[in-house]
Structure 1
């Protein structure tokens, strides 16, 4: 589809799009990742945060430009197909689609740790809350994008306000001694922290699967992306700074709770539990919305079982079949981790490895698809940064590669329906809502 100022028939406004994007990018990273980054790099973890925020500028611009020019439920899979063909599209589509249910328990588990910290119950509480969050988000998405986007808007307003309060009340208690020594684990520690923090900056890619849901993608996606980038920069750097400055090496699994409890007393700890749950619900909501549309879009082209997209022509056009698969797999991973005695963040690196690999494919496609000038420059910078992230992630990228190869084998053994052509350009599906 060519860039156009005309709408696609979608219903998502700039404000709702900002809420969806903010939840996907801000997500659960701000809950526990500052502490994990400190474990990896000490106070120098701030350098990892700053570097990834800097990388996010061209990365966000690249995916916003792609979404504006090619609004489609396939997202990165669509860009890969337009730039490199069906095989690459299938591989990245399978890897990304299956990464969402693998990563959902990680995201939900961050909030579950806060709930367990507030009410007790240990590991059992964490597992129950993780499963409950996944089910709540499933219900939100079941009733369509307008319902989930409306809820998301309310969540985004609440969490942005509360996180800003955490930063403001914590600044007076910052102890500069907590920033020395700065490079406690050397530069390699900064690299390790960056590999963990990729989770915190994933989100630009999944929102591309929601691009067709905007009323006017060519105009609104860029605006929503710019607003989100500004908000995320303030909140991420603010939370990371006060976590180090106030808590130092004493940070636990629930640093937001520790920060507020230190400022207002123990009564404030449950408030951060609410923030954690809202952040998690918002993030998983964006990912489930995007993943269900990605799965349906891939099914329409024959790259996945057609049943996944067979329910979008009934007037409702909400891909409930694909959503059901994502939810079922997410719950299966949660139960499997509980049975094996693993933590809910056991699959963190595998998920971030998938995100990093998806970024490489998406930005490489952007280099071929976007026009010259700033869009092309942003794409080249994003590609270089994405390759560096894959290197930092290491072995974890092997699983999405294996998943992609499995998808390629599956599609090669069945007759695939050819994508439809509109105006001389291939497209995978009508906008999914």
Structure 2
């Protein structure tokens, strides 16, 4: 998700093709390298139902954010819409959900890259953890010195990821076996709900439609089409990968830490491990770099509006590096990483906690659309459906809902007084799309 949000800062006047590529990159990410295994572990072959359901639910959600972005072009995103619909406290809560998802998501992404490297090089658990820590350290150092990957390089990472997924599906498809789909739901339908909770991590990113809207040459025309094309591409890739992972690997789908490499072995043999490991490192670094850059700037923006201590606002201007906000993220990410390694917190838990925050953000965004889109319009009706569907997905997060609820309570308590003196987040206002 953050990759899409941060990336738009350096690419201007997007057309349909480039905008679609950025949207695909905002939804896809290194998480997809591990999610087929986590979903299969939760639901077995019935995880395909969770994949299909979330794809279906993504239609009204993505179209809602496209409608918001087309009608209110700007870079404020969900926080701006929340401020317009529900006030400054709601905007602060949404901002904190985004901000605190970063120090959880960064270690999760680094663990994915570490697992692929560890599997390729035959490393033990300790060495794999060191690789993950090195990736976390590398992205923080890169951001402290102000390193930014060019838009062309970012898009190259997206192309590489899509190429890997297509190659894996094509190589493995002939080996799909029907017997691997029986029994279909070994963990019952509660397993499907559990799989949906972790898979929302893969479908977060549609709010990038609203934050990228101002960069389109013609948001009203290009934004909806870019969203539809992204839905098609992502849907084909996700379902293809999910079906082949279960159909080819069978029981191994739930245990293999590197399912993509296992699928590629069907087509290119022993070189698959090294290729996917190398790609995973570059994809992980690229995604985490922009993920962290966006999170640090968000922290500075929250501080400037009184939702975080004012001293964290320094460095938030265009062209500057928000090192104070970045330092806070470094401390939080270091704490999460240490707790993860010391107490052996698994990747599944990290991704579910992140997904719970992002699902909560989605609900606020779609509910805001219900309030600020014109009544008795198709966009508002779609937003109502999207909100209802998002509530169902949020419920599937189970015990991990404690995290966004606790964050919301803390934000209201902390900002109740200080935010009165702060500038509010600008409300969304309709703008004409540039010609």
Candidates 326, 332, 338, aligned match of 1:329: 332
Shift of the alpha carbon at 1:312? Answer: 3.3
> Is structure 2 residue 280 aligned with structure 1 residue 276?
yes
Kindly provide the CA deviation profile for residues 124-171 of structure 1, in whole angstroms up to 9, marking residues without a partner as x. Answer: 233232233334444666687974533211101111112111111111
Shift of the alpha carbon at 1:225? Answer: 2.8
Relative to 1, partners in 2 of residues 1:207 and 1:296: Cα closer, same or farther, differing over 3 Å?
Answer: farther
Cα distance between partner residues in 2 of 1:257 and 1:79: 41
Residue of structure 1 in register with 2:416 after alignment:
412
Candidates 384, 389, 393, aligned match of 1:389: 393
Shift of the alpha carbon at 1:254? Answer: 0.8
Cα distance between partner residues in 1 of 2:172 and 2:211: 37
Cα distance between partner residues in 1 of 2:286 and 2:24: 9
Relative to 1, partners in 2 of residues 1:426 and 1:74: Cα closer, same or farther, differing over 3 Å?
Answer: closer
Cα distance between partner residues in 1 of 2:19 and 2:140: 19
Contact kept in structure 2, 1:115 and 1:126, CA below 8 Å: yes
Candidates 58, 61, 78, aligned match of 1:59: 61
Shift of the alpha carbon at 1:241? Answer: 0.7
Structure 1 stretches of at least 4 aligned residues deviating more than 6 Å after TM superposition = 7-10, 142-146
Cα distance between partner residues in 2 of 1:217 and 1:303: 30
Relative to 1, partners in 2 of residues 1:209 and 1:218: Cα closer, same or farther, differing over 3 Å?
Answer: same
Candidates 399, 402, 405, aligned match of 1:398: 402
SS of aligned partner of 2:421: coil
> Normalising by structure 1, what TM-score?
0.86
Residue of structure 2 in register with 1:4 after alignment:
none
Candidates 263, 270, 274, aligned match of 2:267: 263
Residue of structure 2 in register with 1:46 after alignment:
48
Contact kept in structure 1, 2:89 and 2:415, CA below 8 Å: no
Structure 2: stretches of 5+ with no match in the other structure: 1-7, 430-435
Residue-pair matches, total: 417
Residue of structure 1 in register with 2:350 after alignment:
347
Candidates 367, 372, 389, aligned match of 2:370: 367
More divergent stretch after superposition (111-120 vs 296-305): 296-305
Relative to 1, partners in 2 of residues 1:154 and 1:168: Cα closer, same or farther, differing over 3 Å?
Answer: same
Shift of the alpha carbon at 1:419? Answer: 3.3
Relative to 1, partners in 2 of residues 1:10 and 1:85: Cα closer, same or farther, differing over 3 Å?
Answer: farther
> Is structure 2 residue 286 aligned with structure 1 residue 298?
no
Contact kept in structure 1, 2:14 and 2:217, CA below 8 Å: yes
> Is structure 2 residue 122 aligned with structure 1 residue 117?
no
Cα distance between partner residues in 2 of 1:126 and 1:8: 33
Candidates 216, 235, 238, aligned match of 2:237: 235
SS of aligned partner of 1:346: helix
Cα distance between partner residues in 2 of 1:57 and 1:318: 36
SS of aligned partner of 1:203: coil
Cα distance between partner residues in 1 of 2:408 and 2:151: 30
Contact kept in structure 2, 1:145 and 1:289, CA below 8 Å: no
Residue of structure 2 in register with 1:356 after alignment:
359
> Normalising by structure 2, what TM-score?
0.86
Shift of the alpha carbon at 1:271? Answer: 1.1
Contact kept in structure 1, 2:168 and 2:260, CA below 8 Å: yes
Cα distance between partner residues in 2 of 1:121 and 1:378: 49
Cα distance between partner residues in 2 of 1:334 and 1:8: 29
SS of aligned partner of 2:285: helix
Pairwise CA RMSD of aligned residues? Answer: 2.9
Relative to 1, partners in 2 of residues 1:201 and 1:335: Cα closer, same or farther, differing over 3 Å?
Answer: same
Contact kept in structure 2, 1:363 and 1:379, CA below 8 Å: yes
Residue of structure 2 in register with 1:34 after alignment:
36
Shift of the alpha carbon at 1:305? Answer: 2.3
